[in-house]
Amino acid sequence: MNVPARSAASEDSVRWIGDETGLLEMIDQTLLPGSTTLIRCERVEEVWEAIRALRVRGAPAIGIAAAYGVCVAIRGEGSLADLLQRAVSAADYLATSRPTAVNLFWALDRMRSRIAEGSFADAPALRRALLDEARAIHDEDRQMCRAIGRHGAELFEDGFGVLTHCNAGGLATAEYGTALSAIFTAHDQGKRIHVWVDETRPLLQGARLTAWELMRHQVPCTLICDSMAAQVMREGRIQAVIVGADRITANGDVANKIGTYSVAVLAHHHGIPFYVAAPSSTFDLTLVSGEGIPIEQRAASEITEGFGRRTAPEGVAVYNPAFDVVPARLVTAIVTERGVIAPVSARRIASVIGDAIEIA
């Protein structure tokens, strides 16, 4: 269901409306920057579709949306036993929406653990407990983003040109973002930062979302096509790269939006530091390296007729992986809410993040 937009001053990508029988509201990110349209999800199938279609996107934001999605699944009538069963099925179902960002599975595991704790007096008590858990996931992400911003801002000096890829801003998280949080914080501290925004083919998260967020925060920025990054680096305009992440493995390999690997290789070639900003919920210490990360494959039409206009011949073969993996050796540092991990190694990751997340 579409509803009129609330104030465009807010970048909350997701929010819960009402009490435990309420509903989930989110900005339809596929329509930005042209229109700030809100959608309301009253059925778990609508939440699944919103995640799958990238109406809500970005690793932390899809975890938050999925957690609320479990609450959406039990907002209707039913006995306690019915709702418990519905909540578990909803968690399993939402986990099939997208494969790469581990935050989705991390958030759903938290909801499952809350369900498994049991001891609910009745159906309203279950609804309240699960909404509290989803709200806690949401609030913790907000705090983690702020802390990432504080640590990340220290990496930037006054006058830096900083390149970013995809969107790791407020839209992709509870608030403020990860990579963009570092940039916003440095900007708020009075450092003059100029951001070079990769447009991020094929779905243009950089052009549509990152440029929109930066301009609203009045951070100076310049949009470039992805293929221009090498030239801009050679011209000496970039002093640092910072990106978000969808999954970071135990050895420090980083999955992020397709094209991130190319940027990391370019940064290495030009001697430019390559930073990754991510909360502990983005780490998957069950995987030893990036080879184990499932890479989402998306529809050919995103490339052949993106945004409704056909730009390739009918019937052409298409390969459309949505993510790639940057090997740890190309990552200068990982900025987390707990501090900066540098150099990037399995040992340092385990010591900073090991106790923050459950290892199966």
Nearer residue to ligand MRU within complex by CB, 84 or 144: 144
Nearer residue to ligand MRU within complex by CB, 166 or 331: 166
> Nearest approach, Cβ of 278 to ligand MRU (angstroms)?
7
Q: What is the DSSP code string of 85-107?
A: HHHHHHHHHHTTS-SS-HHHHHH
Q: What are phi and psi of 326, to 5 degrees?
A: -95, 120
Q: What are phi and psi of 356, to 5 degrees?
A: -85, -20
Q: CB nearest ligand MRU: which residue?
A: 244
Question: Where does this chain bind ligand MRU (CB under 6 A)?
Answer: 54, 57-60, 101, 166, 168, 172-173, 177-178, 205, 244-246, 256-257, 322
Best CA proximity match to 323, nearest among 184, 242, 202: 202
Q: What is the dihedral of CA 54, 63, 297, 263, to 10 degrees?
A: 90
Rounded CA separation 264/233 (Å): 12
Rounded CA separation 104/108 (Å): 6
Nearer residue to ligand MRU within complex by CB, 20 or 199: 199
Between strands 274-277 and 240-243, the pairing is: parallel
Residue that has been written with the tokens 């070079």 in this structure? 196
Nearer residue to ligand MRU within complex by CB, 31 or 88: 31
Nearer residue to ligand MRU within complex by CB, 36 or 205: 205
Residues whose CB is less than 8 angstroms from the CB of residue 142 and which lie 6 or more positions away in sequence, other chains included: 173, 174, 175, 176
Ranges of H-type helices in the chain: 44-52, 59-73, 80-94, 102-117, 123-153, 179-188, 205, 211-216, 229-234, 260-270, 301-304, 346-353
> Nearest approach, Cβ of 60 to ligand MRU (angstroms)?
6
> Nearest approach, Cβ of 142 to ligand MRU (angstroms)?
13
Which of 28, 198, 246, 284 is the catalytic position? 246
**CA-based R_g, the chain, Å:** 20
> Nearest approach, Cβ of 351 to ligand MRU (angstroms)?
23
> Nearest approach, Cβ of 265 to ligand MRU (angstroms)?
17
- The SS3 of residue 339 is strand
Best CA proximity match to 230, nearest among 240, 242, 238: 238
CA atoms within 13 A on the CB side of 139: 6
Rounded CA separation 357/228 (Å): 38
Residue that has been written with the tokens 């958030």 in this structure? 107
Nearer residue to ligand MRU within complex by CB, 123 or 197: 197
141 a catalytic residue? no
Nearer residue to ligand MRU within complex by CB, 239 or 256: 256
Q: What is the dihedral of CA 214, 219, 221, 226, to 10 degrees?
A: -40
Q: Which residues are catalytic?
A: 246
